[in-house]
Structure 1
Amino acid sequence: MEFLDSEMMKRFMRSAPVNIFFKDTECRYCFASEICNLVSVGENGSIVGKTDLEIQKFPEMGKMYYEDDKKILATGKGSQYISEFPMENGESLYFEIKKSAVRDENGNIIGIVGIVDNVSERVRLEKKVEELSMIDGLTGVYNRNYLKYRVEEKKKKLIFPFTVIISDCNYLKKVNDQYGHEYGDILLKIVAGTLKEEIPEGSSVIRMGGDEFMILGNGIPEEKASELMTNIQESLKQKSKEKIPLSLAMGSYTVQDKDFCFDEICHKADMRMYEDKKRTKADEGVEIIE
């Protein structure tokens, strides 16, 4: 691109408040401002004359960029997306990339112009807001939104066997009626805290609403699920007080591989919880509100 041969033009581009790059019809960089070099090849290199297939640290990312460039050159339609760059410290940088076709005076496509904007703070803030929307305000565990927004994402990262445990506080209504909702809230907080303490790393606790909680157990086989439920009940028993009896009806269901319907295993765990609730009612001879 002849207009890029001007040293003055290059100075203008390097001084622009955004990060700019140009590519030719072979998807090779003709010009790149500072951040484009730093992200791709570091302080001592240059990406000029190379395609993303050659410079990107992650091959899949390079392939995606390259194929997007080819599409722009073929159709003349630009693109816009946010790309995540994992860092060595475990964190990520996020860049919004906008690309458009460059045409000559005859309307022929002669390359691509793009801008790169560091939107890391914006993305982190958005993720924080999203995370807060998934936290139950009373207990501090996840709420139903967690399932709504994250279950499909989580399914890709499950470790099998995978277990769902459904639990229901046996005496919440009786506590609320006899001692007030303040004590009922204390009961819920203790239960949520106990569940978080007892579950293994990689598992999650969700308050589904009211007095119902769910545990998503990554890598938990059926026998371990039974052991976990026993430990939870024992821990709650030790924390029980005269005005706040702590007891859960619990049921679990385990799957061995990814070929499952999440709603179905939740239903099966819920049915087992309901059976446990009926057994508790019969064994203790007390009215348990369902």
Structure 2
Amino acid sequence: MENNEKGGIYDSMMDISKCKVNEQRLNMIDNILNNSKDIIYYYQVSPERKFIYLSKSVEAVLGHSLDLNYENPLYVFENAHPDDVLKLERKASGEMDYSKSVITRWKHKDGNYLWMEDYPIPIYDEGGKLVGVQGICRDISQKVELEEKLKYLTSHDVFTGLRNRAYFDEQLKICNNTNNTPIGLIICDLDNLKVINDSFGHDKGDLLIKNTSNLLLNLSDENKVIARLGGDEFGILIKETSEFDVIDICKKLNTIISIYNTENKNFIIKLSIGHAFSEASLNTVDDVFKRADTNMYIDKKRNK
């Protein structure tokens, strides 16, 4: 066999070997992409919108058919949360800052929304026109849920569901230093908690606190901050109000308690209530709080 022929056969064998290696590599990459817990995509936006590539992981993450996404390029927009569609449109039209991630909500096949964090990379043609977007989307629902829980814990009293003392004090600080508004303060204190604890045990005392908290929540609206200030002490901050309204809220609270006690004669709530009002909140909050607290103790003495 001539050397040239041998060389040709050798080169052919090498080419075949390279093809097999490349095929193995491609299969390996495809396997990695399809088994990833993240959704990897290349979405063409010009001349027409369509997926050039979408990893099969979309089926595992969102439950939607891979073929359906290829067949309907707008399917992802149709299944986004209505409040997040504009974010997706900005991503596809080049109107966003691609140096930052995009957090949107996508509907799972079961109807629930998942929080997805997307890291998009814009693709431009030689003329600088946006022709596509590629990136990786990750399900961060558990992370968002944890953040929401932590946020809740920093501002709420876990035992009662009311706002906590730290949040209440922060709102007072804002009214005192930043936002000048007519404010009312109502300070409440349970009169019979110690008696309940001593006579029936702390479980009954805890129930009394929870029942009182539930009654206070009936007064809740966007202008009120209702908080548990201590063991058996509660506070209500009312913004954008009038003295008449503050007094009316105290009357409503007494009425609610009276109705409750009529229906629960063996486990009544005795609540001392004090209120105060100021036309302006700047630099007056401490005084308003002291007056409300003093009026609460006056009511407590009256109840005794």
Task: Report the TM-score range of the alignment, normalised by the length of the smaller protein.
Answer: 0.5 to 0.7
Match of 2:218 in 1: 200
Q: 2:87 matched to which residue of 1?
A: 64
Tell me the residue number matched to 1:84.
105
- Which whole-Å CA distance do the structure 2 matches of 1:261 and 1:34 have between them? 61
Residue pairs, 1:137-152, within 5 angstroms: 141-146=162-167
Match of 1:228 in 2: 252
Provide the C-alpha distance between the structure 2 equivalents of 1:262 and 1:86, rounded to a whole number of angstroms. Answer: 45
Within a 5 Å distance, the mapping from 1:238-253 to structure 2 comes to 246-251=270-275
Specify every segment of 5 or more residues in structure 1 that has no aligned partner in the other structure, as ranges. 1-6, 152-162, 254-259
Rounded to whole Å, the distance in 1 between the matches of 2:249 and 2:301 is 24
- Aligned partner letter, 1:50: P
Q: Secondary structure at the match of 2:119?
A: strand
Cα deviation 1:172-224 (Å, max 9, x = unaligned): 9xx69xx99xx99986863453231464396674213465423589xxx9597
Q: Which residue among 293, 296, 300 is the counterpart of 1:277? A: 296
**What secondary structure sits across from 1:45 in the alignment?**
helix
Q: Contact (CA 8 Å) 1:166, 1:214: kept in 2 or not?
A: yes
Displacement of 1:20? 0.7
Per the alignment, do residues 10 and 59 of structure 1 end up closer, same or farther by CA in structure 2, a change over 3 Å counting? Answer: farther
**Shift of the alpha carbon at 1:132?**
3.1
CA distance in 2, matches of 1:90, 1:167: 44
CA distance in 2, matches of 1:149, 1:21: 45
1:50 maps to which of 73, 77, 81: 73
Secondary structure, counterpart of 1:79 in structure 2: coil
1:167 corresponds to 2:187: yes
| 1:62 counterpart letter in structure 2 | V
For these two proteins, the number of residue pairs brought into alignment is 252
Aligned-residue CA RMSD in angstroms?
Answer: 5.7
Identify if the C-alpha distance between structure 1 residues 164 and 189 changes in structure 2 by more than 3 Å, giving closer, same or farther. farther
2:80–2:105 CA contact under 8 A, matched in 1: no
For structure 2, which runs of at least 5 residues remain unmatched after alignment?
1-25, 173-182, 239-243
Distance change >3 Å, CA 59–CA 132, structure 1 → 2 = closer
1:148–1:66 Cα change, 3 Å: farther
Give the corresponding residue for 2:43.
23
Question: Once the two structures are superposed, what CA deviation does each residue of 1:212-255 show, in whole Å capped at 9, x if it has no partner?
Answer: 423589xxx959734531135535796789xxx943224388xx
Give the deviation of 1:107 after TM superposition.
Answer: 9.7
Say yes or no: does 1:122 pair with 2:146: no
**CA offset digits 1:131-164 (Å, max 9, x no partner):** 233343665643135558999xxxxxxxxxxx97
Structure 1: how far apart are the matches of 2:82 and 2:147? 28
Distance 1:109 1:209, change over 3 A: same
Q: Which SS does the other structure have where 2:150 is aligned? A: helix
SS at match of 1:142: coil
Give the TM-score taking structure 1 as reference length: 0.56
Cα drift, residue 117 of structure 1:
1.0
Letter in 2 for 1:30: I
d(CA) in 1 for partners of 2:141, 2:124: 32
Write the deviation string for residues 77-121 of structure 1: whole angstroms up to 9, x where unpaired. 433132234679885311111112346899997532111111212
Q: Distance in 1 between matches of 2:292 and 2:40?
A: 59
Residues in 2 aligned to 1:189 and 1:79: alpha-carbon distance in whole angstroms = 48
In 1, the alpha carbon distance for the partners of 2:133 and 2:169 equals 39
Distance 1:189 1:17, change over 3 A: closer
